[in-house]
Amino acid sequence: GLVAGCSSSTGSNSKEIKIGANFELTGGVANFGKQTVNGIMLAFKEVNEAGGVNGKKLVLVQADNKSEPSEAANAVTKLITQDKVSAVLGPVTSSDVLATLQIGQDNKVPIITPTGTNPSITVDNGQVRPYAFRGCFIDPFQGQVMANFAAKTLKAKTAVIYIDSSSDYSKGLSESFEAAFTKNGGQIIGKEAFLQKDQDFKATLTKIKGMNPDVVFIPAYYEEVGKINKQARELGITVPLLGTDGWDDSKLVEIAGAAALNNGFFSNHYSPEDKDPRVVKFVEAYKKEYNEAPSALAALGYDTALMLIDAIKRAGSDDPGKIRDALEKTKDLQVVTGILTLDESHNPVKSAVVIEMKDGKQVFREKVNP
C-alpha cells in the first residue's frame, strides 16, 4: 500500500488527481511554456490549499516538449500511458498542440491547450475533435482584430504580410488577416516568409521596404519577431509593425530593444493593467508568487487550470471520459481573461485587447468583443 500523501509514479492514487503538463520548457519558445506552467501551478496551489477537488489533491506531472512537435507527441504519450494522467494541459504553440491531438483521442484522454489559437486544433475538416479543448480565442478572431485595427485605427490602405512558414499559427493568421483587411478595402501588396531559428532577415526586409507598405503584419513568436523588428528599424522601415499574441513576452524587448518596438502593436488575451477586480487579484497573487507581472500566457494557464478544475468538480470524478463530457458543458465560468463559455466547437468566445509597445512597455490600447 501507499503511504498517505505520497505520489505513486504509475497508476492512480485515491488521494490525488494527476494532470499532465506538456509544455515548451526548453527550446525556441521556452519562455512561453514556463509562464503558462507558472499560471497553472498557481491555480493548483490555491485549489489544493482550499481542500482540493472532490476531496483529492491535484498533482501536476510535467513533461518538456522542447518546443518541437515530435517531442510534444512523445511527451503526451508518456503522460497518458506511463503516468496515467486524467487530462493533459498544453502545449502552448499550435503546431506543438496539433501533433498531440490524435494521441489524446486514441487514448480517450482530453487535451486542453490554454493558448493554441489555430482553428484546426478543435475542428478538423469540419468535424469537432471530441477530446480537444482550448482556453483561448481563435485566430480568425485575432487576425480580424488586427486587420480592423490596421484599417480603421491606423487608416492603413496597404499591408505586407511576413510569416513564419514553419508555424501553423503564422500561416493561419496570414489568411485571416488578409480576408479581414481586404474586406475593409485594404490591399495586401506583398507576402514574404521566414523560418523559425532564422537570424538574418535583412534581405527580405529590404525587399519589403521597397514595396513601401502602410503597415507590416508579422504574426510570429518573440524570438524571430524581436530580431525582425530590430533589423527592420535599422534598415529605416518606420511604418507600424503589427503582430499577434506570439509577441507577448518580456524577451521581446530584450531582443529588439525598446526603441525598435515603438510604433508596434499586437493583439493579446488580456492586459495586466485592466482594472477588473479579477485581473487585479490575479496580478497581485502572481506577483507575490513569482516576483513579476503575469503575461497573457500565465493568465491563460491559470484560467485553463480553473476550467479543468471546474469540469472535474462537475464530473464528480477523475475519469478522463467523464471530464471530457463535463468540459464540453463549460458555461459562464468567471476567469481572469473573461467569461468562459465553450461553444459547440470547444472554443471559448472571449474578447481580445490591442497592446501598443511604448519605450519597452506594454500599453493597453483597446478591448475588442467578439
User: Regarding beta strands 87-89 and 338-340, do their DSSP bridges make them parallel or antiparallel, or are they unpaired?
Assistant: unpaired
Tell whether residue 204 is a contact of ligand PHE (CB under 6 A): no
User: Regarding beta strands 87-89 and 16-23, do their DSSP bridges make them parallel or antiparallel, or are they unpaired?
Assistant: parallel
Write out the DSSP string of 184-204.
TT-EEEEEEEE-TT----HHH
Amino acid at 358: K
Grid cell locating 69: 512537435
CA pair distance 157, 164, nearest whole angstrom: 23
Using the contact rule CB under 6 A, the part of the chain among 7-15, 66-74, 113-121, 259-267 near ligand PHE is 113-121
**Residue of 68, 192, 224, 248 that binds ligand PHE (CB under 6 A):** 248
Tell whether residue 169 is a contact of ligand PHE (CB under 6 A): yes
CA pair distance 351, 338, nearest whole angstrom: 7
Report the residue number, 86 or 362, with the smaller CB distance to ligand PHE: 362
Tell whether residue 76 is a contact of ligand PHE (CB under 6 A): no
Residue with cell 503582430: 243
Site residue total, ligand PHE (CB under 6 A): 14
Report the residue number, 135 or 320, with the smaller CB distance to ligand PHE: 135
**Residue of 178, 245, 274, 303 that binds ligand PHE (CB under 6 A):** 245
**Residue of 65, 86, 100, 118 that binds ligand PHE (CB under 6 A):** 118
Using the contact rule CB under 6 A, the part of the chain among 109-117, 208-216, 320-328, 351-359 near ligand PHE is 109-117
Tell whether residue 69 is a contact of ligand PHE (CB under 6 A): no
Q: Within a 10 A sphere around the Cβ of 270, how many other Cβ atoms?
A: 30
Phi, psi dihedral angles at 104 (to 5 degrees): -65, -45
CA 173 from centre of chain: 14
CA pair distance 28, 55, nearest whole angstrom: 39
**Residue of 62, 94, 174, 362 that binds ligand PHE (CB under 6 A):** 94
Tell whether residue 92 is a contact of ligand PHE (CB under 6 A): yes
Tell whether residue 303 is a contact of ligand PHE (CB under 6 A): no
Point out which residues bind ligand PHE (CB under 6 A): 32, 92-94, 115-118, 169, 245-246, 248, 296-297
